[in-house]
Amino acid sequence: MSDYSASSDHVPAGAMQEISNHPRSLLAMGDLDVHRLGEILTLTQEFRSVLRRPIPKVPALRGKTIANCFFEDSTRTRCSFELAAKRLSADVITLTEKGSSLSKSESLRDTVRTLECMGVDGFVVRHHASGVPARIAAWVDHPVINGGDGAHEHPTQALVDLATLIEKWGSLAGARVLIVGDVAHSRVARSNVTAFTLAGASVSVCAPPTLLPPGIEGWPVTVSEDLDAEIPEADVVYLLRMQQERIVDDPVVPSLCEYARGFGFTEERARSLHSEAVVMHPGPMNRGVEIAASVADLPISLVEKQVSNGVAVRMAVLYLFFAGIP
Amino acid sequence: MFTKGHSLGCCFWPGALVARCPRLSRQRTGTVLRIAPRSVCLDARKGGSVKAQGEAAACVLDSDDMRRAVSRIAHEVVDRNRGAEGLVLVGIHTRGVPLSARIAEEIAKIEGVRPSQGSVDTAFYRDDVGLPPRVPTGPTSVPVPLSGAHVILVDDVLFTGRSVRAALTAVWDFGRPLSVQLAVLVDRGHRELPIQADYVGRDLATERNETVKVRVTEIDGFDRVDVLSPHRGVLFE
């Protein structure tokens, strides 16, 4: 275990802005302005076409070494960061909590300093506690990309979602995005609210009051508890995962069945969407809880599109943040 | 839906998206170089202008010169490759792309067959590790497999040879061409790599600290090649 064990619960969006404004690191969506965001989306488009080539690899990060520090389990984010780095010709070290000396109680600081001494040029960090990537960014001399920290932020997921929608529609200006579910525990919700707002969309949030974080009044969103009234208005229904592992000690809903009845995206609810609306989910999905098993596979679902955009978006982020390192 | 121009849409180059975004129309509102007669001319330069302390601009190719150069390159390409069969013209962004389109157009006039066209951006293939990353100015796309093709790389200016080296690496990701030839509008010397052009619009003797600026109608609104010298003045309007 690490020596750093900050509580991860209930961090309002933007609360860690001061720490996270590390100039060379991507710790929160707030680190990106519209210009940077535009660069990332342009690069994403270019890398998407690189990935379709007979040889889907470019030498842009040749000679760079990236440490993928995943102190919390992950499939999509870890694999897509690893693949993205390899597609850019970087060398990758993947570190997980179980397989490293962290399980022999080496401190987090010593762990990342050790990697840096070996000549790592940058870090991608995922941790179950909010703020860890920001702490690491303060300890090391190289850029840190936040791969998801506690209930704080998951900026590359938000970039993936933006890139997916912009690929589909060309622009998000004026779009209405409805975020449904466990906003309180969700880093994805925090990053996505910032990202969608920056892209010109209006965001509303729908969840039972127990799954809303304190301080949500300060977010640039409208809040509702009536999913059925919101769905016909939405262009994007963004479903959040019910984080069962985070809510065992703190039962915020009577039961998952009860939650699914009130806030699950069923086939019947999918029918009340307008014809061009889409459904998104950051994964991993709890089929039958927040999203009905069949809905996830309908053509309106962009879930697989999100996953396939993951590699190109992370290539764009790695290129922008790591290519300039001497 | 959501077709109103928004700054985020502006970073995309496919026609469909650009069309939605009027801000992307290629307007250059910057300064216009005005050329006046000048006393000191290098080789074939047609004239220059002076203003205070600054740079001097000498027009070395006007639009007619450029048209003739492109036409001659097209004839040489067809002559050397015995037709347009199996040719793929690949322009290097930014100004190599419209030039490659013009050469393709000329070849179509001569041979009746328009060769395939592609484009490469060298942003991901550069050798200047450690400099700030560059965002590509246009897509790298090659419409046909390059294995078995004769590739003509097209660029505006051949200088150190480094961007041609990068473009060669990019081309190799699309297959193994039978041959790669290089066509440039201007060869200004000062090579740092063993790279030579097969087709040259104009050889220019330049100083290393001078800048050769190629303007094409498709991007800049007019056709002209200028040499900008740091030690002479320039007249801006």
Domain residue spans in chain B? 63-207
Strand A176-180 with A202-206, pairing: parallel
- For range A39-50, the mean pLDDT: 94
- For range B36-51, the mean pLDDT: 40
Residue A309 has pLDDT above 90, yes or no: yes
Which residue in the block uniquely carries the two structure tokens 């275990």?
A1
Per-residue model confidence (pLDDT) at position B128 = 74
> CA of A222, closest CA in chain B: separation in Å?
20
Interface of B with A in 67-96 (CB under 8 A): none
Q: Which residues of B26-53 are buried (b: 16+ CB within 10 A; e: fewer)?
A: eeeeeeebebeebeeeeeebbebbbeee
Q: Which residues of A32-61 are buried (b: 16+ CB within 10 A; e: fewer)?
A: beeeebbbbbbbbbbbbebbebeeeebbbb
Between chains, do B130 and A324 touch, taking CB under 8 Å as contact? yes
pLDDT over 70 percentage in chain B: 73
Instruction: Tell me where in chain A the CATH 3.40.50.1370 domain(s) lie.
Output: 17-153+308-322, 155-307
Which residue in the block uniquely carries the two structure tokens 């690191």?
A25
- For range B177-183, the mean pLDDT: 97
Task: Please tell me if residue B121 touches chain A, with a CB cutoff of 8 Å.
Answer: yes
Between chains, do A170 and B9 touch, taking CB under 8 Å as contact? yes
- For range B11-30, the mean pLDDT: 33
Task: Please tell me if residue B138 touches chain A, with a CB cutoff of 8 Å.
Answer: no
ipTM above 0.95, yes or no: no
B63-207 to CATH, choices 2.130.10.10, 3.40.50.10860, 3.90.950.10, 3.40.50.2020:
3.40.50.2020
pLDDT (tens digit per residue) in A104-135: 888 999 999 999 999 999 999 999 999 999 99
Strand-pairing partners, residue B171, are: none
pLDDT (tens digit per residue) in A169-190: 999 999 999 999 999 999 999 9
- For range A57-65, the mean pLDDT: 93
As a whole number of angstroms, the distance between CA A35 and CA A87 comes to 25
Residue B100, CA atoms < 13 Å, CB-side half-sphere: 26
Q: What is the mean pLDDT of chain B?
A: 79
Task: Please tell me if residue B140 touches chain A, with a CB cutoff of 8 Å.
Answer: yes
The closest CB to that of B173, out of A55, A175, A324, belongs to A55
Residue B17 with chain A: CB contacts under 8 Å: 170
Residue A58 with chain B: CB contacts under 8 Å: 124-125, 173
Comparison of pLDDT for A108 and A13, the residue scoring more: A108
Where do the H-state alpha helices sit in chain A?
17-20, 34-51, 76-87, 108-117, 132-139, 155-169, 187-198, 227-230, 244-247, 256-263, 267-271, 303-322
Between chains, do A58 and B173 touch, taking CB under 8 Å as contact? yes
As a whole number of angstroms, the distance between CA B222 and CA B97 comes to 15
Residue B169 with chain A: CB contacts under 8 Å: 59
The hierarchical CATH code for the domain A155-307 is: 3.40.50.1370
Residue B118 with chain A: CB contacts under 8 Å: none
Residue B55 has pLDDT above 80, yes or no: no
Residue B168 with chain A: CB contacts under 8 Å: none
Residue B17 has pLDDT above 80, yes or no: no
Residue B9 with chain A: CB contacts under 8 Å: 166, 170-171, 173
Q: Which chain A residue is nearest to residue B20, measuring alpha carbons?
A: A170
Between chains, do B8 and A53 touch, taking CB under 8 Å as contact? no
Site from B3, B6, B13 to mutate, A interface, most A CB atoms within 10 angstroms: B6
Instruction: Break chain B down into helix, strand, coil percent, rounded to 5.
Output: 30, 25, 50
pLDDT over 70 percentage in chain A: 92
Q: From the centroid of its chain, how far is CA A170?
A: 21
Residue B4 with chain A: CB contacts under 8 Å: 171, 173-174
Residue B34 has pLDDT above 60, yes or no: no
Residue A22 has pLDDT above 90, yes or no: no
- Rg over alpha carbons for chain B, rounded to the nearest Å, is 19
Between chains, do B4 and A235 touch, taking CB under 8 Å as contact? no
Residue B140 with chain A: CB contacts under 8 Å: 46, 49-50
pLDDT (tens digit per residue) in A237-288: 999 999 877 666 777 888 888 899 999 999 999 999 999 999 999 989 999 9
Strand, helix or coil at A206?
strand
Strand B179-187 with B211-215, pairing: unpaired
Q: Between the CA of residue B64 and those of A26, B60, B225, what are the distances in Å?
A: 51, 11, 11
Residue A3 has pLDDT above 50, yes or no: no
Strand A144-149 with A221-224, pairing: unpaired
**pTM of this structure:** 0.82
Beta-carbon pairs below 8 A across chains A and B: 110
As a whole number of angstroms, the distance between CA B127 and CA B161 comes to 12
Q: Which chain A residue is nearest to residue B166, measuring alpha carbons?
A: A59
CATH 3.30.720.210 is the classification of domain A17-153+308-322: no
Comparison of pLDDT for A266 and B48, the residue scoring more: A266
Q: What are the counts of helices (DSSP H) followed by strands (DSSP E) for chain A?
A: 12, 9
Strand-pairing partners, residue B117, are: B89
Task: Please tell me if residue A60 touches chain B, with a CB cutoff of 8 Å.
Answer: yes
Between chains, do B133 and A175 touch, taking CB under 8 Å as contact? no
User: In the sheet that A91-96 helps form, which strands lie side by side, from edge to edge?
Assistant: A91-96, A65-70, A122-127, A144-149
For the four alpha carbons of A266, A269, A271 and A274, in that order, the dihedral sign comes to: negative
| Per-residue 3-state assignment (H helix, E strand, C coil) for A241-275 | CCCHHHHCCCCCCCCHHHHHHHHCECHHHHHCCCC
Q: Residue A197: pLDDT band by 50, 70, 90 thresholds? A: very high
Per-residue model confidence (pLDDT) at position B134 = 87
If phi > 0 it is left, if psi is from -120 to 50 it is alpha, else beta; for residue B87 that is: beta
